Amino acid sequence: MTYPKIPLAQTIVQLCKAKGIKHIVISPGSRNAPLTIGFTNDDFFNCYSIVDERCAAFFALGIAQKLQQPTAVVCTSGSALLNYYPAVAEAFYSDIPLVVLSADRPKHLVGIGDGQTINQKNVFDNHILYSANLKLDLKDEKNVPSHEELPIFKNLENKFERFLGLQKDIQIFNEEEINTAINFALLKRGPVHINIPLDEPLYETTDKLSVNPKPIEETEKEPDFEDYVLKSCLEDWNSATKKMILVGVNQPNQIEKKWLDELAQDDSILVFTETTSNLHYSGFFPSIDQLIAPLSPEEQKELQPDILLTFGGLVVSKKIKQFLRKFQPKHHWHIDPKTAYDTYFCLENHIEATPNQFFETFLPKVTHYVKSGYKHKWAGVKQRRLKKHKAYLEEIPFSDFKVFSRVLKSVPENSVLQVGNSSAIRYTQLFKLNKSLEVYCNRGTSGIDGSTSTAIGFAVASEKPTVFITGDLSFLYDSNALWNNYIPNNFRIIVINNQGGGIFRVLPGHKNTENFDTYFETNHNHTAKHLCDMYGFNYETAHDDEGLKTTLKSFYMESSQPKLLEVFTPKGINDEVLLNYFEFIR
């Protein structure tokens, strides 16, 4: 086998292999050549070449999102590394294990005006679980510290022994730092950064390893519930007649069914689920905005819970956030092994466990179901909303709202649904989805910058077909995502093109002015056609409801290339249709 000659590069590659990091996303460069040589010459790794570093990082994020295992991105020195930052921030807030491997120049070449060089040490400091700044190998005696740093050597033999000792110390330090970083990604679930100084020559190879790094294993700690906390929670739970459970981003099939069954049987519990929660249960309450947006202040007061129990990742619905901040529960507990955000300004307990671990300890100790009309009342409201929702769809014109209704119904069973941010995910939240779908969205930072790249990375790692629904600005922003040689033929993109940032027409502001059109909505006349021609996508369009129905009938069929459907909607009425919806279902 061919290896890079540099011991540090060998160490990185061997420890990634030992830790089971199989997927390596590489952006071409020179300083990272030793790493590229090491990864691409070992059949253990699945290597991908993605030129645009921002797209590469989101592509890797998509793989890690699917596999829930660390995925590595490898780049050269300089500004290349900074292009990883949006994906690093998303991984940080979404608890996705991303391992950033950045090649760097030696320390003595940083800050002297050398090309393609920036201060890479701790560059992600505010959005990283661990930063490992490795030390440069001593490749010969020229690298031995001078007499100003160490006592003068008496003879060459002592000097050589000292040289070997220093290199051994460096090797030990580097191995420990690499192990620590990867263990953080594995156990703490999030991004880590390993900065790797590499000196020239960079392209030399060898057929033998010069190092044998040892993986350091760490085990995850079992949750330890404090008795007094558990006792206090049980007392409050057993007496509360209005309990609300709000579930954010959640992996499919993550919560054991027996606990869902038990929660659904309790008339004092409302379980609010987001589209990204991947929880489907007839007694639960999806489409949160549909339920609460039309409520009067008196009705909101009635809905106010005594206890709010939350788990899962970040929540999409602004309306539930506004409601719970205004009508705060007496108690808010959040279940998560790692983080608890005080989103509603009333957090009382951070329960450091997985939901399954908590429910297994907690629910069997619940003494009785409290007599309550809480669930019954709001189940009635939910049914009335659904009837009005159906009636509204029958009377509105062709618009974003109608398009999302028809498109979401069309997604084939057992598919993955990736959803872009901004309007796309907010519209999706208003509709009941097929229970067989797995739904994902980059809600860590809620940015539009890498949704397409993430969806493609996910599709590459998934055995299921992936459908990606996005808005026009988000799609165009991340158009380099299509510069990718790995897109499966069963990958489908649906772009809802309303010629600008349609969500800004819904938000407060002065619409239909030159300033608004230019700087907020960002009007444009671009389409995806030329991008599809350039990157080998089958391109289809729809301009009305009948055309959309016809196109969708064949859109998901097998093909020899991936497909993109661009649906053009009239931007002038989309905001009115959406705002009138909440009035209509009141």
**Are residue 280 and residue 400 in the same domain, yes or no?**
no
Do 375 and 402 share a domain, yes or no? no
Segment 266-276, tens digit of pLDDT: 999 999 999 99
Does the residue 82 lie in any domain?
Answer: yes
Neighbouring C-beta atoms of residue 338, cutoff 10 Å:
12
Angle between helix 400-410 and helix 374-395 axes, rounded to 10 deg: 110
Q: How confident is the model at residue 147 (pLDDT cuts 50, 70, 90)?
A: very low
What residues pair up with 25 in beta bridges, in sequence order?
Answer: 48, 73
Q: Provide the percentage of residues in the chain whose pLDDT is more than 90.
A: 83
- Give the per-residue pLDDT at 141: 43
Check whether 507 has a pLDDT greater than 80.
no
Q: Is position 357 within any domain?
A: yes
**Residues 476, 526 contacting (CB under 8 angstroms):** yes
Q: Which domain holds residue 350?
A: 227-379
With contact defined as beta carbons under 8 Å apart, do 239 and 268 qualify?
A: no
Residue 538 falls inside a structural domain: yes
**Structure confidence at residue 503 (pLDDT):** 62
Is pLDDT above 60 for 358?
A: yes
For 462, phi then psi, to 5°, come to: -100, 145
Burial degree of 280 (CB within 10 A; 0-12, 13-18, 19+): middle
What DSSP assignment string belongs to 322-361? HHHHHS--SEEEEE-SS----TTS-EEEEE-S-HHHHHHH
Q: Are the beta carbons of 287 and 431 closer than 8 angstroms?
A: yes
CATH number of the domain within which 430 lies: 3.40.50.970
State the pLDDT at residue 458.
98
pLDDT for the residue 219? 83
Among candidates 48, 39, 33, 32, which has minimal Cα distance to 16?
Answer: 39
- 219 within some domain: no
For residues 339 and 432, state if they share a domain: no
Phi/psi at 146 (nearest 5 deg)? -75, 175
Residue 372 and residue 256 in one domain: yes
What pLDDT shows up at residue 369? Answer: 87
Q: Which of 379, 409, 436 is the last residue before a domain boundary?
A: 379
238/358 same-domain check = yes
47 and 159 both lie in a single domain: yes
Determine the average pLDDT of the residues in 346-363.
95
Task: Answer whether 101's CB lies under 8 Å from 187's CB.
Answer: no
Residue 220 lies in a domain: no
Does 267 lie in the same domain as 198?
Answer: no
* Residue 221 within any structural domain of the chain: no
Task: Write out pLDDT tens, residues 447-501.
Answer: 999 999 999 999 999 999 999 999 999 999 999 999 999 999 999 999 999 987 6
User: Quick one: 337 and 261 in the same domain?
Assistant: yes
> Are residues 287 and 147 located together in one domain of the fold?
no
Q: What is the mean pLDDT of residues 406-429?
A: 97
Provide mean pLDDT across the span 109-114.
84
How far apart CA 58 and CA 427 sit, in angstroms, is 23
Predicted local distance difference test score (pLDDT) of residue 512: 67
Interaxial angle between packed helices 355-362 and 227-239, expressed in degrees from 0 to 180 and rounded to the nearest 10: 70
Assess whether pLDDT exceeds 60 at residue 258: yes
Do residues 464 and 375 both lie within one domain?
Answer: no
Q: What is the mean pLDDT of residues 321-347?
A: 97
What's the confidence (pLDDT) of residue 156?
56
How many structural domains comprise the chain?
3
Tens digits of residue pLDDT in 129-146: 999 999 999 875 444 454
- Please indicate, yes or no, if residue 511 is contained in any of the structural domains: yes
Q: Are residues 199 and 233 in the same domain?
A: no
CATH number at residue 338: 3.40.50.1220
Q: What is the mean pLDDT of the chain?
A: 93
Q: Is 388 contained in some domain? A: no
pLDDT of residue 444 exceeding 50: yes
Q: What is the mean pLDDT of residues 177-193?
A: 97
| Residues 408, 328 share a domain | no
